Amino acid sequence: MKSQNQAEAIADQEVSYTNRTHAEIMVVITALMLAMLLAALDQTIVATALPKIASDLHGLNKLSWVATAYLLTSAISTPLYGKIGDLYGRKKIFQISILIFLAGSALCGLSQNMNDLVLFRAIQGIGAGGLISLVLAIIGDVVPPRQRGRYQGYFGAVFGLSSIAGPLLGGFLADAHTIFGVSGWRWIFYINLPIGVIALSVIASRLHLPRRYHEHKIDYRGAALLSISAGALILVSVWAGITYAWNSWQIISLLIGSVVLGIAFVLNEHKAKEPVIPLKLFRSSIFSVSVILSLLAGIALFAAILYIPEYQQIVRGYSPMKSGLLIFPIVIGMFSASITSGRLITRYGRYRPFPILGSLFMLAGLWLWSGLSLNTSELTLSVWMLILGLGIGMFFQVPILAVQNSVPFKQMGAGTSTVTFARSIGSSFGGAVFGTILISRLNSHLHSLLPQFKGSISASSISSGTGSLRASIPAPVMHKILQAFDLAFHDMFIYALPIAALTLIFALLLKEVPLRDSAESHSHSASLELEGERA
């Protein structure tokens, strides 16, 4: 029976890998890129327009929940999509996730109040969780790992593009009073519909994956435990240091609840016949190290992606649109490094050097940013951003590629989504940690530079910047306030350095298994890696 199952798995994989030309693969890849762009763009495009949206819908007190609802449901659903895709076939589940996302987008555009918008953003997030995790898993269905690097590089570029296009497009649409008789901000959601329909049509007609006929039993208990545990942790990342203090009973209760439910989830997975995250995958050092790498990278990279634009707006006084344009060097670095490293991986069949080099570049970039001052030129900042972008692009796709190359094919979706889930949790938690550090150091420097300063700065003050204060505060005092902000950002980047150094250490621990060109070599390499771990 065991040999028969292995033969079926290999046969299924061979059907996926054969009879596709580069042109045919690129048609599918383009559709997948459009689907991923929907999810990646929606994380950045809404943020710029939130004040306008909340003002129109008369719900400024619920503004944070518009982002939180999307973040919660997308992160929670990510590992579930991976497992369900393994059980029932990824194409069907992927199409469902696109439909859910488009339905949520249409409903968001029709929202009449903030309660509607929060609920519909949660629906949108449920779809987004499948878009990102299933896209990466489907690449594993279509392209052998040896060839996968050249295609996965494009997806790193998609994230880079969304980081700059999102704020720009969101600002433009929010500023537009009406477009075709509809409020400009509503087009932030409606714009997803034509893109999603194109992606859905191409996927339906051009993506052909083997069907699986097996009896399944979904681990509902494990799914519930994981969802609630992860949800509690994400609420900590959203509320800690902003709505509630880190030592408040609310945050402590959420942390304890997340840990307890996380332990219960692990115990449940040991007994489950179809676990959401198969724990035996952690026997592989490649899988374990890749998950940790993604978690750490998510924490460290959040400092670059989120807080560099914040620095440009707060300290330099630039508009959201201009600050978005000024982070273009990060996008250039991500795009060039992602494409180049992907092609080199395909050519030489080696992936291990790139997370090591990427971690070094990220460490160097964060170290350079820790030396910023009010007098640092924009050209210098652009060079620093380029270095950070090169670091991000070099290892963005490697953890997923390494996992897909080492895990059994029938568990590729679960493995891929677990790595993606780790990166999402890292990004969420990184935002909370660095936001708290920034506020704490800012208050310390304000008290030092302005002894007459009383009270403390809230996170909302950070996000709103200092633009409205510049005209009303005397120039000498304003200079010291900006200096305090500058020093606080300086300290935040210093605190990010140990995380980047830890990322480098784990990158050095990542083992390399030769990238395979067929399912047979897949089975062989995965079994060798697992047997090596048992030995």
Q: What is the mean pLDDT of residues 36-49?
A: 78
For residue 352, the SS3 value is coil
Decide: helix, strand or coil at residue 244.
strand
- 474 vs 7 pLDDT, higher one: 474
Q: What are the pLDDT digits (tens) for 430-459?
A: 777 887 888 888 888 888 888 876 666 554
CATH superfamily of 2-207+274-523: MFS general substrate transporter like domains (1.20.1250.20)
Residue type, 34: L
Residue 457, pLDDT score: 59
What is the predicted pLDDT for the residue at 508? 94
CA 131-132-133 angle, 5° bins: 100
Residue 45 and residue 170 in contact, taking contact as beta carbons nearer than 8 Å:
yes
Most confident of 226-230, 345-349, 363-367, 403-407: 363-367
Compute the average pLDDT of residues 197-217: 75
Take residue 7 and report the two structure tokens written for it: 């033969």
Q: List the chain domain ranges.
A: 2-207+274-523, 219-273
Cα separation of 166 and 180, whole Å? 21
The answer to which of 121-125, 246-250, 470-474 has the lowest mean pLDDT is: 470-474
For 128-137, 157-166, 206-215, 517-526, which range has the lowest pLDDT when averaged over its residues? 517-526
Which residues, other chains included, contact 114 with Cβ-Cβ below 8 Å and sequence gap of 6+? Answer: 54, 57, 58, 59, 62, 63, 65, 66
| pLDDT band of 99, cuts 50, 70, 90 | very high
The confidence score (pLDDT) of residue 6 equals 44
Question: Quick one: pLDDT at residue 535?
Answer: 40
Mean pLDDT lowest for which of 85-94, 128-137, 523-532? 523-532
Which pLDDT score, from 0 to 100, does residue 139 have? Answer: 83
Mean pLDDT of 508-534: 59
Structural element, H or E, at residue 183: strand 182-183
Mean residue pLDDT of the chain comes to 80
Residues 476-492 have a mean pLDDT of 85
Identify the pLDDT of residue 211.
Answer: 61
pLDDT band of residue 5 (cuts 50, 70, 90) is very low
Check residue 257 and give its pLDDT: 93
- Tokens in use for 95? 């199409």
Whether 534 has a pLDDT exceeding 50, the answer reads no
Look at residues 244, 206, 283, 183 and name the one whose alpha carbon lies nearest to residue 534: 283
As a whole-number percent, the residues of the chain with pLDDT over 90 amount to 16
pLDDT reported for residue 516? 64
Q: State residue 60's pLDDT score.
A: 67
Indicate the length of the chain as a whole number: 535
Local confidence band at 384 (pLDDT 50, 70, 90 cut-offs): very high
Q: Tell me, what's the pLDDT at 145?
A: 73
pLDDT value at position 353? 92
Q: In this predicted structure, which of 207-211, 234-238, 295-299 has the lowest mean pLDDT?
A: 207-211
Q: Which is more confidently placed, 11 or 63?
A: 63
Q: Rounded mean pLDDT of 51-61? A: 76
Confidence check: pLDDT of 463 > 70: no
Instruction: Give me 96's structure tokens.
Output: 């469902």
What pLDDT is stored for residue 509 in this prediction? 93
Output the six-digit token pair for 207.
């993506």
pTM, full prediction? 0.79
